[in-house]
Each structure stands twice: as structure tokens, then as C-alpha cells.
Amino acid sequence: MLNISLLASYIVLGITLAAPIGPVNSARLDKGIKNGFWHAWIVGTGSMIADGIFMVLIYFGLVNFLDIPIIQIFLWLFGGFVLIYSGVESIIGANKFSFDQDRKKDSLLRCFFTGFIMSITSPLSILFWLGIYGSVLAKTATTYGTSHLLIYSSMIFLGLAIWDLLVAALTTGLRRYLNFKSIIVISILSGVSLIGFGVYFGYQGVIALFS
């Protein structure tokens, strides 16, 4: 029999895991304020698909390949490149924003791949899911058995989806009260945040490469 309180706690866990400020949330904020609800939501959806892939890999125990040094180096360096590129793009395009409804917006497909690539190439995400989700699986299996393990796991994913909707709605609401200058400032701060994460990733990749 399913434990309802445990289901609810895993939904909360999913929201908690998604909430910390990081590259994806920075990108959500930037895309949502510039383009609206669907663009913020689709960035998060791309990230969730990547998270789902990590969860499946961990669930089926297919994570040993992540211990291969060349894979780790590639993820650090490529992840750093993606973040730095996105950050620079956000800063350069900050003053090109217009409230004109007819202006050219970022494509939804591009926003999707922004979120997906940021997450799928992030060693921090991999280590995060290995540490958090791996321990959750172990504890749940030990305490409640394995019969409903997949259902409990899906509640974490539901929490991620709820957070995605909340952030997309929040950025849409904020957009109504922001002026041109404040949106430029947010875009620049978002870009600097992404570049900062990118430099960190790249630095770790270089250390791994020469160690």
C-alpha cells in the first residue's frame, strides 16, 4: 500500500531540489522575463528531461560510465563552454530587449535545448543526483521495499514540474511590473551568473585534464 505522506514528502523534495539558484534557474528568469511564460517553462522542461535521464540511469544502475575520467573532463569543459556562451549572449542581448509584442523572440526549441544542455552536461547535476537520488532510492527500498519504488521516484519528478510552473508564472508576473532598465539589469546579472558557473566548470575541467 502506498504511503501518502511519503508521496507528499517526495513532491516537496523535488521542489526543494529544483529551487536553489543555479544556471537553469538563471536561464529561466532571463528567458521568462524577456519572452514570457512558455519560454521560461520550456527551459525548465529541457532541464527536467535531463534530470529524468539521470534518474533513470541511477534507477537502473547505469552510472558506472560516469566514473570514466575522459567523460568527466568532457562534461566539465563542454558544460563550462555552454554556460559561458549563454551568459555572454545574455549580456550582449540585454539592451536589445523590446516590449514590442511583434519583436522577434527566442524560439521555444532553442530555449528547450538551453535548459537540456545546461543540465545534461553539468557534473554538478550528475553528482547531485547520484548523492541525493541514490540515497533516496536506497532508503526507500530498505524501509518500504521495492514494489512502489518507481511511483515514489516519480513524485520527485512531479515536484520538479511544479517548480517549473511556479517559476514560469513568477517571471510572467514580474514582467508586467518591470521597466526597460530593470530588465537589462536582470539580464546582465543572469549573464554574469551563468559565466561564473561556466568559469568554475571550465576550471574544474582543466584541473581534471592535467591532473
85: Cβ contacts below 8 Å, ≥ 6 apart? 198
CB 40 within 8 A of CB 172: yes
pLDDT less than 70: residues of the chain: 1-2, 19-21, 62-67, 94-105, 131, 142, 144-147, 178-180, 183
Q: Give the tens place of pLDDT for each residue, 153-186.
A: 788 889 889 988 988 888 877 777 766 677 677 7
Closest CA to 184 of 34, 83, 21: 34
Cell readout for 134 is 541514490
36: region left, alpha or beta (phi > 0 left; psi from -120 to 50 alpha)? left
Q: What is the pTM of this model?
A: 0.71
**In whole angstroms, what is the distance from residue 65 CA to residue 204 CA?**
19
**Calpha distance 112→22 (Å, rounded):** 17
Q: List CB contacts of 168: < 8 A, sequence separation 6 or more.
A: 28, 32, 37, 38, 40, 41, 44
Residue with cell 523535488: 14
